[in-house]
Amino acid sequence: MVNGYRIFNHSSADLSLYECGIEDCVPGYTYGPRVREHYIFHYILSGKGTFWAEGKQYNLGKNDLFLITPQQSTVYAADQEEPWSYVWVGFNGLKAESYVNNLGLSAENPILHYALEKDLKPYFMDMIDAPALPLVQEAEQLADFYHILSRLFENQGDRQKKKHPSHNKELYLRKALNYIDVHYAENISVAEIADFVSVDRTYLFSLFKSMLNMSPQQFLLSYRISKAALMLELSNLSVAEIANYVGYSDPLTFSKIFKKSKHLSPLQYRKKKRQS
């Protein structure tokens, strides 16, 4: 029943690959319940089957992909009449959750239908058949997995454009604003925000200008200053501490930017707010 299976022995900071395989299931073959420590993509090549997760049942077929998330108990079974064949890959890493979320996938929304003409199967097969030389194997398998992710992002982008052309802008903007809300205290760049949203910098710039009437950099600066102003008013933290909290390693640079924005120095702003 199992046509191919491979365990990986390598990882990178961004992505760690655990295993991959291809399986032709016999009628009614059932796997689980089981809990995994990492993410797994299953991509259906042919046939039908059923996936159970988070109390929901999903009836799936060719070109459907289902996600298993870490610490999630799942069960899946091949159809009695048309048992499925599928390929899978297990992965984790610092960017794994970000990639999964940007595909619109989660434990509560684990299904994606792949509709592009570009076939995913060759990339899975290349991972299974990669050369035994460790460095060559690692490079080729990671490259194949990134190709799979690229095709999936392309698929979702194409689907969103066809289904929700106007909603797409709002979705991108919301993702960008959420990223800034979480990471504004870090030394983030516009390029990193664009990368998280899965758009290029030029598009992100036009998106912010058209919907917020300011650039991403201007919004980030304004957001940091608003957070700093609140801390100046409500806390007894020093200017240097507040500067660090909102992403500025140099208190002098922070003070200049703050004064340009609020027309008062940080200490003058604090004094004015506490007197009012």
Tell me, what's the pLDDT at 197? 86
> pLDDT digit string (tens) for 165-198?
555 788 888 889 999 988 988 888 888 898 888 8
Omega of the bond prior to 33 within 30 degrees of 0, cis? yes
Q: Which CATH architecture has domain 2-163?
A: Sandwich (2.60)
CATH 1.10.10.60 positions along the chain are 167-276
- Is domain 167-276 in CATH 1.10.390.10, yes or no? no
pTM of the model: 0.56
Which amino acid is present at 61?
G
Which amino acid is present at 102?
N
> pLDDT digit string (tens) for 86-138?
999 999 888 888 888 888 888 888 999 998 888 899 999 888 876 554 545 56
Tell me, what's the pLDDT at 62? 94
Model confidence band, residue 238 (pLDDT cutoffs 50, 70, 90): very high
3-state secondary structure of 45: strand
Could you report how far apart the first and last alpha carbons of the chain are, in Å?
76
Classify residue 88 by its DSSP letter.
E
CATH 2.60.120.280 positions along the chain are 2-163
